[in-house]
């Protein structure tokens, strides 16, 4: 079998049918690839999924007790039979007719990882016609070299396919219990040991931006401490990765530093948005202990980052603003 597509699924019945139709139209015969949908104990109907399993023998539905996305992806890896693995989120879109060609390029060149494009689209936006250039755009290189020369790369696992025996050989998995930055951890660990990596200039994946709502804001606020804790955990893991591997390429270390910088910005921003001042103080103290606060302004060319980090680094002012922000109505906080 050529390819296993793994979908971590939870209550996405209004989106999953379109995604399955797109995945079934990729130029493979049904015997050449499989779609493994791991249901993370959905509370809504899964009739659509079961109907597709009945119609297509290569669509497989698996239920697991709620353990979040990392566990669902790891469950899918254990069940997969394809030469390569591909991960999709259950509410995004995939361009039709591209994955069989992506597989051919990876297989022919015996690649461990093959990267391609992901684009961001609005919820009601029709995906553009895919840009298709299936010739390798880069020479084959190591994972460290690739990330070191693609500093702004998306870390999402829908940005590449990865060889299954490579995953098994190096015992790669998504970190259990981590629900945010789990993709960064998987990519960083894979890239350290990957020796045959390349890229094709093909638009494959569309990350769909759903509009924010009060309920969405409330949900994120409820999970804020967990999200922020996971982001801090990722920063600690990346710093440990550098400390434990003195022979890492300087350009890969630079990628880790920039990624940490972006994650720390997200930590400070989300703490400001969702948590009380007392928690913000604790988080800034923790980041200071890690050597990640104040934020490193000089490394960024992003104007928004540069401006906001300047305010964030003025600790007393930032905490005063946080105190004022917490008194605002939820409808206003939503827009920040």
Burial class (CB in 10 A: 0-12, 13-18, 19+), 279: middle
Q: Residue 195 belongs to a domain with what CATH number?
A: 3.90.550.10
The verdict on 27 and 146 lying in the same domain is yes
The verdict on 183 and 277 lying in the same domain is no
Residue 133's pLDDT is what?
Answer: 84
- 238-279 pLDDT, tens digit per residue, is 999 999 999 999 999 999 999 999 999 999 999 999 999 999
Number of domains in the chain: 2
The verdict on 191 and 297 lying in the same domain is no
Final residue before a domain boundary, out of 176, 209, 242 = 209
Residue 285's pLDDT is what?
Answer: 98
- Residue ranges in the chain whose pLDDT is less than 70: 137-138, 211-219, 297-304
Nearest to 200 by CA among 127, 112, 150, 131: 131
The verdict on 166 and 218 lying in the same domain is no
Residue 124's pLDDT is what?
Answer: 82
The verdict on 143 and 218 lying in the same domain is no
Contact of 157 with 264, CB cutoff 8 Å: no
Residue 280's pLDDT is what?
Answer: 97
Contact of 158 with 86, CB cutoff 8 Å: yes
Final residue before a domain boundary, out of 209, 236, 263 = 209
The verdict on 133 and 257 lying in the same domain is no
Contact of 55 with 68, CB cutoff 8 Å: no
Contact of 267 with 283, CB cutoff 8 Å: yes
**Rounded CA separation 138/131 (Å):** 17
The verdict on 62 and 181 lying in the same domain is yes
The residue segments making up the domain with residue 66 are 3-209
The verdict on 162 and 198 lying in the same domain is yes
Nearest to 172 by CA among 157, 154, 152: 157
Residue 294's pLDDT is what?
Answer: 94
The verdict on 142 and 49 lying in the same domain is yes
Final residue before a domain boundary, out of 163, 191, 209 = 209
Residue 264's pLDDT is what?
Answer: 95
The verdict on 57 and 187 lying in the same domain is yes
Residue 300's pLDDT is what?
Answer: 52
User: DSSP states of 202-244 as a string?
Assistant: EEEEEEEEPPP-HHHHHHHHHTHHHHHHHHHHHHHHHHHHHHH
Sign of the C-alpha dihedral computed for residues 120, 64, 36 and 85 taken in this order = positive
The verdict on 224 and 311 lying in the same domain is yes
The verdict on 112 and 30 lying in the same domain is yes
């Amino acid at each position: 079998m050529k390819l296993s597509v793994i979908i971590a699924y939870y209550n996405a019945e209004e989106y999953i049918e379109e995604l399955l139709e797109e995945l079934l139209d990729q130029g493979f015969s049904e015997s050449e690839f499989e779609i493994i949908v791991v249901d993370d104990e959905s509370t809504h109907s899964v009739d659509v999924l079961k109907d597709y399993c009945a119609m297509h023998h290569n669509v497989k539905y698996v239920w697991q007790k709620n353990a979040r996305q990392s566990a669902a992806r790891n469950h899918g890896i254990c069940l997969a039979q394809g030469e390569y693995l591909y991960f999709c989120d259950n509410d995004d879109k995939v361009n039709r007719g591209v994955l069989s060609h992506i597989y051919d390029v990876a297989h022919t060149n015996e690649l461990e990882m093959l990267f391609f494009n992901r684009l961001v689209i609005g919820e009601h936006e029709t995906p553009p016609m895919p840009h298709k250039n299936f010739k390798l755009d880069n020479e084959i290189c190591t994972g460290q070299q690739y990330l070191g020369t693609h500093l702004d790369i998306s870390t999402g696992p829908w940005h590449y396919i990865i060889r299954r025996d490579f995953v098994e050989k190096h015992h790669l998995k998504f970190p259990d219990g981590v629900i945010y930055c789990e993709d960064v951890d998987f990519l960083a660990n894979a890239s350290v040991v990957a020796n045959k990596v390349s890229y094709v200039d093909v638009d494959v994946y569309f990350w769909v931006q759903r509009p924010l709502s009060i309920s969405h804001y409330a949900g994120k606020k409820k999970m804020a401490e967990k999200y922020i804790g996971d982001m801090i955990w990722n920063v600690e893991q990346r710093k440990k990765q550098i400390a434990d591997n003195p022979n890492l390429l300087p350009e890969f270390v630079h990628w880790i530093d920039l990624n940490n910088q972006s994650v720390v910005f997200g930590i400070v921003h989300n703490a400001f948005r969702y948590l009380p001042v007392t928690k913000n103080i604790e988080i800034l103290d923790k980041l200071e202990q890690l050597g990640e606060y104040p934020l490193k302004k000089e490394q960024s060319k992003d104007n928004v980052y540069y401006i906001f980090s300047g305010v964030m680094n003025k600790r007393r002012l930032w905490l005063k603003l946080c105190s004022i922000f917490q008194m605002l109505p939820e409808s206003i906080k939503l827009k920040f």
